Amino acid sequence: MEEKQQEVKDEIVDTQKVEETTECSEKATADVETAVVEEKDKRIEELQTRNLRLQADFDNFRRRTVKEQAELASFVTVNVVKKFLEVLDSFDRAEDSIQKADNVESLKVGIDMIKRQLTQTLTDLAVEEIPAAGEKFDPVVHEAVMRGVNSELEDGMIETVFEKGYKINDKVIRHSKVKVVNND
């Protein structure tokens, strides 16, 4: 009987040890889970902070880019205006010389000089005249404002240019206004 009592006591002790081990194991598992959750919370906070910084950096980049574009546009405008002011100065000089000029020929020479100066200014700005007279009508670069009959030219050819067209690097600034042959 004593043996049975001893066995029962041993079983109780074993059960207590198992329960203690289970409690320790549960506590360790809970501690590990808490540590994992804390680590994930920390990582989430780091990512949120990083995201906020990236958003702020992007906003700053966007503002800086808009400012730089405005400055560049202003710079380009100033340079273009300076070039045309030189031509305007030439017109002022021509106007002064009209009062002093005795003949029309000297005025014609002055106007031709101003036209060359203006043409050179446009060339410096990469502005090109769109060929039109005698060319085949192209709606991409020409605007037909009239149609007419001309037996010397084929249908669709440009007979007359009313207003020259211009482009910069294949981008049309102004279409040529033309009269197109329509022999039908």
Break the chain into its structural domains and give their ranges.
1-125, 128-184
Number of other residues whose CB lies within 10 A of the CB of residue 165: 20
Q: Which among 131, 121, 164, 162 is positioned nearest to 145, based on CA atoms?
A: 162
pLDDT on residue 53:
93
Q: Which CATH number fits domain 128-184: 2.60.40.2300, 2.60.40.1080, 3.30.1330.80, 2.30.22.10?
A: 2.30.22.10
| pLDDT tens-digit map of 15-57 | 665 566 666 666 667 667 787 888 888 999 999 999 999 999 9
Q: Which among 179, 173, 175, 148 is positioned nearest to 164, based on CA atoms?
A: 175
What type of residue is 121? T
Per the model's pLDDT, the better-predicted residue between 32 and 130 turns out to be: 130
| pLDDT tens-digit map of 77-127 | 777 777 777 777 777 777 777 777 667 777 777 788 888 888 888 888 888
- How far is Cα 141 from Cα 157, in angstroms, rounded to an integer? 14
User: Any idea what the Cα angle at residue 65 is, between residues 63 and 68, rounded to 5°?
Assistant: 110
